Structure 1
Amino acid sequence: MAIEGAQTPPDVVEDVFEGHATDIEVEDTGEDTTKIQRPWNPDQIRVNTSQFSLRNILDQIDEKSIELAPDFQRLQVWHSGQKSLLVESLLLQIPLPAFYFAEDVDGSFRVVDGLQRLSTLHAFVRGGEEDGFALGKLEHLQDLKDLRFSDLPMPFQRRINNTQLIVNVIDPTTPRGVTYEIFKRINTGGTPLNAQEIRHCMSSRRSRDTLHRMTHTDAFARATGGRLTDHIRMNDREMALRFAAFWLKGVSAYHERPVMEMFLMDTTEMLDDPTKVPDGQVAELEAAFERAMSHAYLVFGEHAFRKWPEDDDYRRPINRALFESWSMALADPDHTTADLRARRDAIVEAARQRMTVDVNYLNAITSSTADRYRVDYRFKAAVADAGAGR
């Protein structure tokens, strides 16, 4: 039955990666992520070039002086053929592209560009039986097929260990925002990293552990349909980070500088600094997020954070704009479980009607979603609809 005044719901496009559906709706933020978001003084950019042997780099990885961003799911997408061809390049003495490291104030390094290459080489040379791999697809050195590093003739082992790598090191005095822009510009991997993957590589353990805990609860798994945890493009961590950003800073802070990438990068820095977000506040953040996830599933069930217009029960992919606005609305401690259960039908009716007839709302969760006015509109709408039936 047609609904009077209903708008035709915009087409929903699900993001696909490596041929696999991700259960995440493609987002149009309206931001030009290729341009410099905020200008800086060129004198702030300090990059030094050094040369290291691969053996030296691998030693530093083993000593934890170089961090390979643990819990980084994207590393799993490199095919055995890609890994083998990278090793073959070293065996053929073909120079690799330069690597970029960001140095921390304590002298340790984060890999800015070349993370997948270094992870592959570390796994081959130092991985052993458990984490290592044997050479597969090779284009020239066919006699080495199916051999592990320990099986290679000693001259080949020495050649790999003695390979010289050019490393551009970003000085720790370079502002974090500048480092982030450098990262975006020199991101040259076979499959370029997305914004959250870049933030993950640049962040410290404290923020990574916080986002990991937030996305590894039963409540989060239920609310997101069980497919988002340990997402291959780290969309689970981005969802949690968006909640953290608005919970810690508020929508008003976003209005002051409405650039989503910088808003999330600033929040990552806050979470990494215990003087800005003490442990007690982190615990409150995690509790609020888990409460929001439990309430979202209680109210919307399998349609939580998904477009769900009236007279249409098709289960669409998760929408980021719906996630950030509704998770914040449902984290409000004034919404108790008993209260929401009693008003569930009224809330669902209000939300579905808005998704059907309110063209401004549909725009706010579909296109130019980073626009400050559209952010404000969807947040206010979620708060209003969450109060339906009172």
Structure 2
Amino acid sequence: MENNENLFMDDLVDDDESSYALSNFNLVTTPNDFNVATIVAFMDKGVFKIPSFQRNFVWDIQKASKLIESLIIGLPIPQIFLYEKSRNNFEVIDGQQRLLSLYFFVKGRFPKNDAKYQLRNIENTCDHSLFKEEFLNNDKYFTNFNLKLKTKATPDSLVTPLDGKNYQTLDVNNKVGLDLATIRNMVIKSAESSDEEHLARYEIFNRLNSGGVNLNGQEIRMSLYSSKFLNLLVELNKNPVWRNFFGK
């Protein structure tokens, strides 16, 4: 998962991999707020491209569904980083999983696990669309994208009415709200036309994706379920006897 959205990392260490000299890059960064409809149109027209140094699409349908839900209900999502190579030619440095999730939802199709590697196959792409229509409609590779927001642990009383919906079956307000939801895009462009400046996108990609530390299970629970019990656990964990008993 793309879990580090910060360009600068606090936990860089002076080891053999990071102790090398870097020249100062001459870059210009411009924030742009594109709405979802515009982003999908850009992807369809090949304006936003997934470069070869990106990993494959790895999100499952539940994670992608949570992203869609966040946009529909008005929650902000992390910004996208794009590198402008030339006019109408942007490489996705950070945000591939989010962008493809949006694209697949609007198209109503989600790739099966065994077929995700096929997304990079040039035979399945074309000039005027991110993927060929016959590829997206092939049930061997794709399934219908209906929002999967309910888990086994979700009480029936908390099941969102969005669960099971797809782009076409959203009510008008939610559909328009999703189309018009804006996502911050940081567009990075070289102020010079040298090959060395284009190398900056690799350095940005490396720093965005190498410094994050995933939350563990308890940290996730703490963020989702605030309660006196969890606050008590935090206090108990400060006690050396308690920590010695549990070995952590």
More strand by share: 2
Output the CA distance in 2 between the equivalents of 1:188 and 1:127: 32
SS of residue matched to 1:41: coil
**Residue 191 to residue 83, structure 1, CA distance change in 2 (3 Å):** farther
For 1:82, the equivalent position in structure 2 comes to 63
TM-score by length of 1: 0.37
CA contact under 8 A between 2:83 and 2:188: conserved in structure 1?
A: yes
Output the CA distance in 2 between the equivalents of 1:61 and 1:189: 28
CA contact under 8 A between 2:28 and 2:188: conserved in structure 1?
A: yes
Matches within 5 A, 1:238-387: none
Q: How far did 1:69 drift?
A: 4.2
Matches within 5 A, 1:54-133: 54-69=36-51, 74-75=56-57, 77-128=58-109, 130=137, 131=142, 132-133=144-145
**Residue 153 to residue 63, structure 1, CA distance change in 2 (3 Å):** same
* 2:183 paired with 1:165: yes
Output the CA distance in 2 between the equivalents of 1:65 and 1:82: 25
The residue identity in structure 2 corresponding to 1:63 is K
Q: How far did 1:148 drift?
A: 1.2
**Residue 99 to residue 188, structure 1, CA distance change in 2 (3 Å):** farther
The residue identity in structure 1 corresponding to 2:147 is L
Output the CA distance in 2 between the equivalents of 1:189 and 1:160: 31
For 2:31, the equivalent position in structure 1 comes to 49
SS of residue matched to 2:91: strand
The structure showing larger relative contact order (alpha-carbon pairs under 8 Å, at least 6 residues apart) is 2
Output the CA distance in 2 between the equivalents of 1:72 and 1:187: 10
Give the gaps of 5 or more residues in structure 2: 1-14, 110-135, 215-248
Question: Aligned-residue CA RMSD in angstroms?
Answer: 3.1
Output the CA distance in 1 between the equivalents of 2:16 and 2:175: 46
**Residue 73 to residue 127, structure 1, CA distance change in 2 (3 Å):** farther
| Deviation digits for residues 343-366 of structure 1 (CA, Å, limit 9, x no counterpart) | xxxxxxxxxxxxxxxxxxxxxxxx
**Residue 83 to residue 190, structure 1, CA distance change in 2 (3 Å):** farther
Output the CA distance in 1 between the equivalents of 2:108 and 2:211: 22
| Deviation digits for residues 327-384 of structure 1 (CA, Å, limit 9, x no counterpart) | xxxxxxxxxxxxxxxxxxxxxxxxxxxxxxxxxxxxxxxxxxxxxxxxxxxxxxxxxx
**Residue 41 to residue 99, structure 1, CA distance change in 2 (3 Å):** same
Match of 1:39 among 22, 28, 31: 22
Output the CA distance in 1 between the equivalents of 2:160 and 2:207: 36
**Residue 180 to residue 73, structure 1, CA distance change in 2 (3 Å):** closer
For 1:156, the equivalent position in structure 2 comes to 174
Output the CA distance in 2 between the equivalents of 1:150 and 1:189: 39
CA contact under 8 A between 1:83 and 1:120: conserved in structure 2?
A: yes
Q: Aligned residue pairs: how many? A: 160
Q: How far did 1:147 drift?
A: 1.6
Give the gaps of 5 or more residues in structure 1: 1-30, 193-390
Q: How far did 1:84 drift?
A: 1.1
More helix by share: 1
